[in-house]
Amino acid sequence: MCLGAQARAANENARRRYAYENERRERNWMQTMSIYNAQKSQYEADVDNAGLAQAFAATEQQLAQNKARDAAQQKYQDMYIDLLQNTDYGKMMASGQTGKSVQRMGVMEFAKYGRDTTNIANQVLANDFELEKEKAMQVSKYQSFKEQSFAKVAFQPVQDVPPPQPVMQNVGAAMFMDALSIGSKIAGIYTAFV
């Protein structure tokens, strides 16, 4: 066997193993970062979409409130026209009756109109409350979705520790040890013949 051949072979194996471990580490790191960057892009898209959905929910709520208010306003107008045209008080006043009972009837009819408008206003407020509650539930759902998406990208990956540099064997020392071994064998043979 050549002097120091085992040491050279061991050193070459250590260099190849070290290069392989570094390449494997780099490939794993690139794959991890690719996945993380894709998750970040997906998170940003999810946040944008959730924001749009929240804005849509708010717009839908506002439209529903406006529709309910328009319907209430129409009811107010219809009731007022009915109050002016089709009431017993109005008919009695038109016929010339002006007693206390007629005035009492007028007060009662106006009171009924007031109660009816108050009921409509209460319905509008109850509708507003329900719409607000529904919007809050949707906003909470979208916020939860955003938080779940963020959990996937909250912690940026960290590259693992590089493998340690290989410890090389000293070829010169191995050659010297091989030479000593050969020299001691020759000396042993020489002493055996002498």
pLDDT digits (tens, 9 = 90+) for 60-85: 999 999 999 999 999 988 888 887 78
pLDDT of residue 2: 65
Q: Does residue 47 contact residue 149 with C-beta atoms inside 8 Å?
A: yes
pLDDT of residue 113: 86
Task: Report the half-sphere exposure of 69 (CA within 13 A, side-chain side).
Answer: 9
The closest of 38, 46, 65 to 132, measured between CA atoms, is: 65
pLDDT of residue 89: 73
Using the structure block, give the residue that is written with the tokens 């010297």.
176
The DSSP string of the chain is --TTHHHHHHHHHHHHHHHHHHHHHHHHHHHHHHHHHHHHHHHHHHHHHHHHHHHHHHHHHHHHHHHHHHHHHHHHHHHHHHHHHS-HHHHHHHTT--SHHHHHHHHHHHHHHHHHHHHHHHHHHHHHHHHHHHHHHHHHHHHHHHHHHHHHHSS---PPPPPPPP----HHHHHHHHHHHHHHHHHHHHHHH-
pLDDT of residue 40: 93
pLDDT of residue 159: 87
18 vs 106, more confident: 18
pLDDT of residue 41: 93
The closest of 108, 110, 106, 113 to 90, measured between CA atoms, is: 106
- Rounded Cα distance between 116 and 104, Å, is 18
Show me where the domains of the chain are located: 5-154
Amino acid letter, 97:
Q
pLDDT of residue 85: 80
Q: Percentage of the chain with pLDDT > 70?
A: 88
The closest of 180, 166, 167, 168 to 3, measured between CA atoms, is: 180
